Amino acid sequence: MTLFDSPAQVAEALAGVGYLPGPEIATTVFLADALGKPLLIEGPAGVGKTELAKAVAAATGAELIRLQCYEGLDEARALYEWNYKKQLLRIQAAGDRAWDDTHDDIFTDEFLLERPLLAAIRREDPTVLLIDETDKADVEVEGLLLEVLSDFQVTIPELGTITAKRRPFVVLTSNAARELSEALKRRCLYLHLEYPPMERERDIVLSRVPGIEEGLAEQIVKTIGALRGLEVKKAPSIAETIDWARTLLALGLDTLDAQAVKDTLGVVLKHVADQRRAVTELNLG
Amino acid sequence: MSLLDRHSGFVHALREAGLPVSVAEGLDAVRALGHLDLIDREGLRTAYAATLVKRPTHRPQFDLLFDLWFPAALGAGEGNADRDPAHRSGKPPALDPEVQAMRGELFELLLSGDEEAMRAFARMAVARYGRSPNGQSWFSSGVLRAMSADTLMASLLQAVLSERGGVEEAAARRMFRNRMGAFEQAVGTEVRRRIAEDTGVERTGRATVKPPLEQLDFNRATRTDLAELRRQVHPLARRLASRLAQRNRLGDRGRLDFRRTVRASLATGGVPLTTHFKPKRPHKPELVILCDASDSCQSFAHFTLLLTFALREQFTKVRAFAFIDSTDEITKYFAPGSDVVEAMRRMTREADLVWLTGRSNYGHAFKTFDDKYRDAVTSRTSLLILGDARSNYGPLALPIVRRMAETARHAYWLNPERPRDWDTGDSAASTYGDVIEMHECRNLTQLAEFVELLA
């Protein structure tokens, strides 16, 4: 059961929920869905990796299940865990009952706490599983993901093997802070997101910031492009472009001159060295 | 050639260019093709890229080979007739009305930024001006010279700007420069395609594909490569830092944290289900870098310095010294928050590195270091010397190096030359190598491996 019929339909559906994909994004999302493979998205911070997963969920009416990765994330947080406290209560409440009865009782669904991965596999309705910032997790988690993502099944010793009835659409995102293992990459389709071309970013600004004039949006996007072209430490993200547009709108500015850029530079550049660099390179005076 | 042959040939060419394409990924690509409309060439490119290329640094190699194996057109392409160079008018390009008409067209294309039309235009331009005088091969230089896109910049800017200067001009200039870059690239692609038609795809691919960025030799990098490499330094440093932090944490169970364990057991009626441990303190070395800043080592020193300073938090203290035939401390140029490009510029301009000739003199450089900064190297220091060990037949100051190596906790020498070039000419590689451990370090991969060893 697939979510999409063609790349064109992907583009249309995503645009419908306010995410404007380029042809490469639309085709890759379509292929990930058609081949039933997880989609690994890499790229600098703030190019819309997580947004893409959210948009796919919103466009198809699927539920979004999110696993945020961090250092020290373990199986119990990612897959499932037994509710020890409830099990203890159950044993204490059992009183004089035979141990064998109680023993069978406490390893049932009632005492199972499902975490994102298991939840995504057990769902029967359309699901988008977002595994966010995979590079932050430890290497062991990658091993776990390999197992879960290649067969879409999980083995719980007390309950047996649980296989997905309906494969979730899986999106992994990474800032490439750590090189993911070859094995994981091999199992995924790969999409490298970069900052969108100027025209597309302008359209994004226009659709996200109501009331902005096209001329101003174009100026903003061009300036952002120039800032990204400098070798800055933290290039402005799409979200920051949008913030900037909102800021300028709130200040009631309708053109972007050197003074306006200089006054509001803090919205887009967040290192002193970067700001200084922008001021000298762009002759902001 | 059947589609299947083309596919396997393409995959083979990718592997030959240094991209790790597994059998499973090749199969994925074939499966993906089954879901797509094969007429759509960009769709085809996307499908191959999504299944076969899993590192952004490999993308340029992929695009180049894709354009060769799945060319956009055959022969002269639709609607273009090859023009025999003999028929070309003898006039210089600036006076040739045909060239001027083409430049007018290029101007409009640069202004509008229509990529598809730009590629078609490049195809036509190569067909007309890309042939070598004897008509046997294809060159992009002729096309680029005739079109000389750079000279259009002034009128392009005039067309979009109401007034010159400031932010708007910088932004517009950048945009046009990008489009000109795209045009040059399209011409290059087209020229390679025409060459491939004459001499075969495999040979052309082998001759034109450069190694991926992380395997690119520092000494052979062009200016654009250098800028790209510099952009890679920060992500690389972050990757290394998180890996190092991880290694420090591995097996980091220190002593039992009794208080936290008891606290946690309250929730389970006093049964300590989860135990907590105190973290261990990681060991962080001090780092002293001594680097050869003469021309022959400049780009290599550049990256090593950038990388180690980007990794500042992995070391308790980093001090850097540069030398040519005299030595000076350069740590201050790399203060936190400073700009990398600026730091390198200031270092070469302001630091006092030249004593007499401005040619590397390791002996005198080590001697100055020993006189001025002897206390920098202590028993807690990791000492790192960067240089090709070519001292222009000058003195080597071996006793000083030996003493430094013995004082330091670890001492390494990174040499940007191939081991087979060591000891040739004025190289004193193995003389120094006997005193201090010497490693070959010529590209980002080797540099990253070494830093891991160091921290």
Contact across the interface for A272 and B337, Cβ inside 8 Å: yes
> What whole-number distance in Å separates Cα of residue A19 and Cα of residue A12?
9
B172 vs A: CB within 8 A: yes
3-state secondary structure of B257: coil
3-state secondary structure B6-73: HHHHHHHHHHHCCCCCCHHHHHHHHHHHCCCCCCCHHHHHHHHHHHHCCCHHHHHHHHHHHHHHCCCC
**CA-to-CA separations, B453 to A83, B250, B323, in angstroms, rounded:** 43, 16, 25
What does the DSSP 8-state code read for residue B2? -
pLDDT at residue B282, as a whole number? 66
> What whole-number distance in Å separates Cα of residue B389 and Cα of residue B297?
10
pLDDT at residue B336, as a whole number? 67
B279 vs A: CB within 8 A: no
B243 vs A: CB within 8 A: yes
Query: Where are the extended beta strands (E) located within A11-152?
Result: 39-42, 63-68, 80-82, 112-114, 127-132
Q: In sequence order, what are the residues at sequence separation of 6 or more whose Cβ sits closer than 8 angstroms to the Cβ of residue B183?
A: B106, B109, B110, B118, B121, B122, B147, B149
Q: What is the pairing mode between strands B277-279 and B253-256?
A: antiparallel
pLDDT at residue B425, as a whole number? 84
pLDDT at residue B26, as a whole number? 93
Residue A175 pLDDT exceeds 50: yes
pLDDT at residue B90, as a whole number? 55
| pLDDT tens digits, A59-84 | 999 999 999 998 888 888 899 988 88
Question: The complex's ipTM?
Answer: 0.88
Is A193 within 8 Å of A43 (Cβ atoms)?
yes
pLDDT grade, residue A9 (50/70/90)? very high
> What whole-number distance in Å separates Cα of residue B360 and Cα of residue B395?
11
CATH classification for the domain delimited by A7-73+115-192, as one of 3.10.20.440, 3.30.470.20, 3.40.50.300, 3.40.50.620: 3.40.50.300
DSSP B191-214: HHHHHHHHH-HHHHHHHHPPPPGG
Domain-wise residue ranges, chain B? 3-69, 79-209, 228-251+283-454
Is B326 within 8 Å of B364 (Cβ atoms)?
yes
pLDDT at residue A13, as a whole number? 94
A132 vs B: CB within 8 A: no
C-alpha closest to that of B427 among B387, B374, B376: B387
Residue A58 pLDDT exceeds 80: yes
CATH class name, domain B228-251+283-454: alpha beta
Shortest CB distance from A28 goes to which of B50, B269, B338?
B50
pLDDT at residue A126, as a whole number? 92
Shortest CB distance from B59 goes to which of A35, A192, A258?
A192
Q: Considering only CB atoms, which chain A residues are within 8 Å of B239?
A: 176-179
Tell me which residues of chain A, numbers 160 to 199, contact chain B at a CB-CB cutoff of 8 Å.
176-179, 182, 185-186, 188-192, 198
What does the DSSP 8-state code read for residue B390? B
> What whole-number distance in Å separates Cα of residue B399 and Cα of residue B402?
5
DSSP B73-140: -STT-TT-----GGGS-SS-TTT-HHHHHHHHHHHHHHHHT-HHHHHHHHHHHHHHH-B-TTSSSB-H
What percentage of chain A reaches a pLDDT higher than 90? 38
Q: Which two tokens stand for residue A220?
A: 């903003």
State the alpha helices, DSSP H only, in B200-290. Answer: 201-208, 223-249, 258-265
> What whole-number distance in Å separates Cα of residue B253 and Cα of residue B441?
35
Is A197 within 8 Å of A222 (Cβ atoms)?
no
> A192 CA to chain B: closest CA distance, Å?
7
> What whole-number distance in Å separates Cα of residue A54 and Cα of residue A76?
25
Tell me which residues of chain B, numbers 59 to 88, contact chain A at a CB-CB cutoff of 8 Å.
59
Residue A232 pLDDT exceeds 70: yes
Q: Which residue has the higher pLDDT, A17 or B352?
A: A17
Q: In this structure, which amino acid lies at residue A14?
A: L
Residue A112, beta-bridge partner list: A82
Q: Considering only CB atoms, which chain B residues are within 8 Å of A261?
A: 167
pLDDT at residue A173, as a whole number? 94
Contact across the interface for B168 and A222, Cβ inside 8 Å: yes
Tell me which residues of chain B, numbers 328 to 347, contact chain A at a CB-CB cutoff of 8 Å.
337-341
Shortest CB distance from B172 goes to which of A222, A231, A273?
A222
C-alpha closest to that of A198 among B82, B115, B93: B115
| Angle, vertex CA A17, rays to CA A29 and CA B56, nearest 5 | 35
pLDDT grade, residue A40 (50/70/90)? very high
Least-confidence region, from A17-21, A244-248, B108-112: B108-112
Is A173 within 8 Å of A132 (Cβ atoms)?
yes
DSSP A114-179: E-HHHHHHH--S-EEEEEETGGGS-HHHHHHHHHHHHH-EEEETTTEEEE-SS--EEEEEE--SSP
Shortest CB distance from A191 goes to which of B50, B172, B340?
B50
Tell me which residues of chain A, numbers 22 to 81, contact chain B at a CB-CB cutoff of 8 Å.
23-24, 27-28, 30-32, 34-35, 37, 40, 42-43, 71
Domain-wise residue ranges, chain A? 7-73+115-192, 80-114, 198-281
Contact across the interface for B53 and A190, Cβ inside 8 Å: yes
pLDDT at residue B86, as a whole number? 44
> What whole-number distance in Å separates Cα of residue A22 and Cα of residue A43?
15
Q: Which residue has the higher pLDDT, A114 or A256?
A: A114
> A122 CA to chain B: closest CA distance, Å?
26
> A57 CA to chain B: closest CA distance, Å?
21
**Chain position carrying tokens 């009631």:** A252
**Chain position carrying tokens 């020193």:** B301
Length of chain B: 455
> What whole-number distance in Å separates Cα of residue A193 and Cα of residue A177?
15
Q: Considering only CB atoms, which chain A residues are within 8 Å of B53?
A: 190
Helix (H) / strand (E) containing A189: strand A189-192
Q: At what angle do helices B115-129 and B140-147 cross, to 10 degrees?
A: 110
C-alpha closest to that of A43 among A133, A128, A131: A133
A258 vs B: CB within 8 A: yes
pLDDT grade, residue A226 (50/70/90)? confident
3-state secondary structure of A21: coil
C-alpha closest to that of A108 among A165, A160, A164, A152: A160
Q: Which residue has the higher pLDDT, B453 or A207?
A: A207
| Angle, vertex CA B271, rays to CA A117 and CA B265, nearest 5 | 70
> What whole-number distance in Å separates Cα of residue A118 and Cα of residue A163?
10
> B308 CA to chain A: closest CA distance, Å?
16
Q: In sequence order, what are the residues at sequence separation of 6 or more whose Cβ sits closer than 8 angstroms to the Cβ of residue B222?
A: none
Tell me which residues of chain B, numbers 22 to 41, contact chain A at a CB-CB cutoff of 8 Å.
22, 24-25, 28, 31-32, 35-36
Length of chain A: 285
Tell me which residues of chain A, numbers 95 to 124, contact chain B at a CB-CB cutoff of 8 Å.
none
Shortest CB distance from A23 goes to which of B42, B249, B337?
B42
B207 vs A: CB within 8 A: no
C-alpha closest to that of A269 among B163, B57, B339: B339
Contact across the interface for B341 and A231, Cβ inside 8 Å: yes
What percentage of chain A reaches a pLDDT higher than 70? 99
> What whole-number distance in Å separates Cα of residue A137 and Cα of residue B42?
34
pLDDT at residue A51, as a whole number? 92
> What whole-number distance in Å separates Cα of residue A63 and Cα of residue A128?
6
Tell me which residues of chain B, numbers 283 to 312, contact chain A at a CB-CB cutoff of 8 Å.
none
**Chain position carrying tokens 């490693």:** B439
Nearest CA in chain B to A188: B51
Q: One digit per residue, pLDDT tens: chain B, 455 residues?
A: 788 888 999 999 999 888 889 999 999 999 999 998 888 888 999 999 999 999 888 888 899 899 888 887 776 655 455 555 444 555 566 667 788 888 888 888 888 878 888 888 888 888 888 877 777 778 888 888 888 878 888 888 888 777 666 677 777 888 888 888 888 888 888 888 888 878 887 777 777 777 777 778 877 777 777 777 777 777 777 777 777 776 666 555 677 888 888 888 888 878 888 888 887 766 777 888 888 888 777 778 777 887 777 777 778 788 888 888 888 888 888 776 666 667 777 777 777 777 777 778 888 888 888 888 888 888 888 888 888 888 888 888 888 989 988 888 888 898 888 888 888 888 888 888 888 889 888 888 888 888 777 76
B115 vs A: CB within 8 A: no
Q: Mean pLDDT across the stretch A137-165?
A: 86
pLDDT at residue A94, as a whole number? 79
